[in-house]
């Protein structure tokens, strides 16, 4: 027994569609891009569209350029810095010791005798 669905396995709008229904396809141009790992990517663009200088490689994610002999260098990733590392960049060890001493003195003065 069927489920009563007359167009089983089909979806709305499915069927043979030609260019008469969709319109004319824009003229395309394929451009080659190479990443630092020498992966070649050839996306297509509309012939009247501006081609970007860089394209992300779909295989490794590195930036790719149009010059095969000189692909763009991979981006340099900075390691994660903690809050303490940023503070140490701004303050010297003597400044840190003075601030710590001041904070400890404030805590000792505010301490209740109980």
Binding residues: 35, 39, 57, 60
User: Per the annotation, where are the binding residues for Zn(2+)?
Assistant: 35, 39, 57, 60
List Cα–Cα distances, 76 to 81, 92, 109, in angstroms: 15, 27, 48
Q: How many CB atoms are closer than 10 A to CB 57?
A: 20
H helix intervals, the chain: 19-22, 83-90, 93-110
């Amino acid at each position: 027994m069927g489920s009563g669905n007359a167009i089983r396995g089909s979806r709305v709008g499915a069927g043979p569609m030609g260019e008469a229904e969709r319109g004319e396809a824009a003229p395309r141009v394929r451009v080659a891009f190479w990443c630092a790992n020498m992966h070649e990517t050839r996306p297509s663009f509309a012939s009247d569209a501006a081609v970007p200088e860089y394209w992300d490689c779909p295989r490794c994610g590195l930036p790719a350029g149009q010059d095969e002999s000189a692909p763009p260098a991979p981006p340099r990733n900075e390691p994660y810095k903690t809050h303490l590392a940023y503070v140490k960049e701004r303050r010297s060890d003597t400044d840190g010791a003075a601030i710590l001493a001041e904070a400890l003195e404030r805590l000792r003065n505010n301490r209740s005798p109980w």
